[in-house]
Chains A and B, each alone.
Chain A
Amino acid sequence: EIVLTQSPGTLSLSPGESAVLSCRASETIPGNCLAWYQQKPGQTPRLLISGASSRAPGIPDRFSGSGSGTDFTLTISRAESEDFAVYYCHQCGTTPPFFTFGPGTKVDIK
Chain B
Amino acid sequence: QVQLVESGGTLVQPGGSLRLSCAASGFIFSDYYMSWIRQAPGKGLEWIAYIRGDSAYIIYADSVRGRFDISRDNAKKSLYLQMNNLRVEDTAVYFCARRLAGRPFEYWGPGTLVTVSS
Name B102's contact: one of A92, A96, A98 (CB within 8 Å): A92
Q: A92-B102, A92-B104 are in contact. Are A101 and B44 (CB under 8 A)?
A: yes
* Contact of B88 with A by CB under 8 A: no
Enumerate B29-62 residues with CB–CB distance to A below 8 Å: 33, 35, 44-47, 50, 59, 61
CB neighbours (8 Å) of B105 from chain A are 35, 45, 47, 90, 92
Q: Is A97 on the interface with B (CB-CB < 8 A)? A: yes
How many interface residues does B have (CB within 8 Å)? 20
Known A44-B95, A44-B109, A45-B108; contact A101-B102, beta-carbon cutoff 8 A:
no
**Residues of A within 8 A of B (CB-CB), count:** 22
CB distance from B62 to the nearest CB of A (A): 8
Of listed B33, B99, B104, residue having the most chain A CB within 10 A: B104
Among residues of B, the one whose C-beta sits closest to the C-beta of A86 is B44
| CA gap between A93 and B101 in the complex, in Å | 9
* 0/1 interface trace, chain A 28-70, chain B, CB 8 Å (1 if under): 0001010101000000110100100000100000000000000
Q: Which of B59, B103, B109, B110 has the most CB of A within 10 A?
A: B103
Q: Which of B47, B95, B110 contacts A99 (CB 8 A)?
A: B47
